[in-house]
Amino acid sequence: MFKNVIVRVPSKTISEGLTSADEGKPIYSKALMQHENYVSALTKTGVNVTVLEPKDEFPDACFVEDVALCTSKCAIITRPGAMSRRKEAALPDMLEALENFYEHIEYIKEPGTIEAGDIMMVGDHFYIGLSERTNQAGADQMIQILESYGLSGQAVEMKEMLHLKTGLAYLENNNLLVAGEFKTAPEFEKFNKIEIDMDEAYGANCIWMNDYVIVPEGYPKVQEKIEALGYKVLVVDTSEFRKIDGGLSCLSLRF
C-alpha cells in the first residue's frame, strides 16, 4: 500500500520542457488543470499528497519521479542525466519534504547519472533501465545502496524508450503492462504480461495506487485490459504532459 505522494505544480515555463515529441508546446493553464485532476485522483486512492511549489527555472520539475527513488527503507536522491534537470534533484523543498518521511536519505554521486523514471519497483526488487539518462555507474551505485538496506536491484538494457517506465508499469499481483521493446525482454518473462499495442504505447504508463489503477485518458484498449483484470480504474487526462514526454508515473513520488 502507498500512504504518501509528493508532486510539484507545473511552472509557467513548462512550454520549455525537454521533448522528443512533435506535438506542440504544452499550454500552461491546461497543464495546471490536468495536474489538479491528477492530484484529485491520487487523493481518491487514500494517500496523503504533499504539493510542492512550481520552479520557473526548471521547466521539467513537475516530473518529480525522476529526482528521487522512494523505497520502504530509504529515499535516494538521483543525479539526472539531462543537464537542464540535474539541479532539480537537490531542491531544498524536495529534500525537506522527503525528510518529513525518511530517516535515511542517500545520494547518487558523479560519475553516476540516474533518473528514477528508469526504475521500476517490484516488491523489494528494483529494475533499473540503462537509458540515455541513466548510466552503468548510476545503476551500480543504486544497486549498492539498495543492497545496504536489504533490498535488491538489477540493470536492464534498453534502446528505444526515454525511460524504463515509459514502456512498463507494474500493477502488483504479478501483472505487468509492457510496450515496445520490453515485450520481448527476458527479464520480464516471469510476469503476467499485458501487452500494449503500438498505437496506444503511451498508455502503458499507468500507476497502481492501492486498489486503483490510474490510466491516461484516450487509451481505450489499455483501459479495457486493466478493467478485465479486475482493477478499479481512474482516468486522468495528461495530454499537456505528453507533449514533453511526461506521463502519469513521472508526475509523482509514491511511497
Binding site for ligand CIR (CB under 6 A): 17-19, 60, 63, 65-66, 82, 85, 117, 162-163, 165-166, 244-246, 249-250
Cα(175)–Cα(95) distance, integer angstroms:
32
| Amino acid, res. 114 | I
Q: How far is the CB of 248 from ligand CIR (least distance, A)?
A: 10
b/e burial code for range 189-198 (CB count within 10 A of at least 16 → b): eebebbebee
Q: How far is the CB of 251 from ligand CIR (least distance, A)?
A: 8
Q: Which of 35, 70, 163, 206 is catalytic?
A: 163
Q: How far is the CB of 106 from ligand CIR (least distance, A)?
A: 19
Cα(181)–Cα(161) distance, integer angstroms:
8
Closer residue to ligand CIR (CB): 163 or 193? 163
Cα(208)–Cα(88) distance, integer angstroms:
25
Q: How far is the CB of 235 from ligand CIR (least distance, A)?
A: 19
Residue, CB closest to ligand CIR: 117
Closer residue to ligand CIR (CB): 31 or 162? 162
Catalytic-residue membership of 206: no
Catalytic-residue membership of 250: yes
Closer residue to ligand CIR (CB): 66 or 106? 66
Nearest to 135 by CA among 161, 160, 108: 108
Q: What is the number of residues in the chain?
A: 255
Closer residue to ligand CIR (CB): 159 or 190? 159
Q: Which of 70, 74, 206, 250 is catalytic?
A: 250
Which residue, chain included where needed, has cell 540503462?
Answer: 130
Provide the CB-side half-sphere exposure for 50 (13 A, CA). Answer: 18
Question: Which amino acids are annotated catalytic?
Answer: 163, 250
